[in-house]
Chains A and B, each alone.
Chain A
Amino acid sequence: RKEVEQDPGPFNVPEGATVAFNCTYSNSASQSFFWYRQDCRKEPKLLMSVYSSGNEDGRFTAQLNRASQYISLLIRDSKLSDSATYLCVVPGEYGNKLVFGAGTILRVKS
């Protein structure tokens, strides 16, 4: 099993829609997780941290399911500006470095 896996998408959604992505991980001992956002031809930027209780920031909600070893990112009321690649990030097998998922592409259309 890969350390982290994401559905590459693309997810094509209309403005105002709610969309959710999942990310599965293999290291059951992982304690903290992150979602990064990467715009086309730009650098990744930290979007949200995900801890055991989850996290909410405006239209964005990140949740953790330890039993099934996945994290999710929910985006409500999608905006055109949300179009980007969303990268799931988890600690590696030995916990000493982060592993980035391949990313899920989101395209919000008007």
Chain B
Amino acid sequence: DAGVIQSPRHEVTEMGQEVTLRCKPISGHDYLFWYRQTMMRGLELLIYFNNNVPIDDSGMPEDRFSAKMPNASFSTLKIQPSEPRDSAVYFCASSNDRVRLFFGSGTQLSVL
């Protein structure tokens, strides 16, 4: 199995631009999670899906953030407009039991 695949690995953009992060979960996993990691705040859950349905988006910072899961093999996290404080590593993870998570390699986002 290829594991959780995220793209891009690195993204550098200017403030105000739209950023789209992509994730392909492990086949057969019913849960998909988006996390953000910073030195100050550690790993924070942004949103998670079960069977493509958003279950808890209480961690999404504000309306600038949105996430979709149009099918079982693909999810996106979009930030529009991006701000420098959004700079972080964004991880996607999938699971078949909600508690044992398999993480992707992450996207290092830098907003200038």
* Interface hit among B18-26, B40-48, B74-82: B40-48
- Known contacts being A96-B55, A96-B56, A97-B56, is A44 close to B45, with CB within 8 Å? no
- Known contacts being A87-B43, A96-B56, A97-B45, is A34 close to B100, with CB within 8 Å? yes
Chain B interface residue count: which class? 10 to 19
Measured CA separation A13–B43 after assembly (Å): 26
A-B contact count (CB 8 A): 35
**B81-112 with Cβ < 8 A to chain A:** 91, 99-106
A34's contact among B55, B56, B99, B103, by CB below 8 Å, is which? B99
- Known contacts being A43-B106, A103-B42, is A98 close to B101, with CB within 8 Å? yes
Most buried by B among A43, A46, A97, A103: A43
The majority secondary structure among interface residues of chain A is strand
Residues of chain A within 8 A (CB-CB) of B106 are 43
- Known contacts being A43-B105, A43-B106, is A100 close to B100, with CB within 8 Å? no
Residues of A within 8 A of B (CB): 32, 34, 42-46, 49, 87, 91, 96-103
Q: 30 pairs across A/B with beta carbons < 8 Å?
A: A34-B99, A34-B100, A42-B105, A43-B103, A43-B104, A43-B105, A43-B106, A44-B43, A44-B91, A44-B101, A44-B103, A45-B103, A46-B101, A46-B102, A49-B100, A91-B99, A96-B55, A96-B56, A97-B45, A97-B48, A97-B56, A98-B99, A98-B101, A99-B45, A100-B35, A100-B42, A100-B43, A101-B42, A102-B42, A103-B42
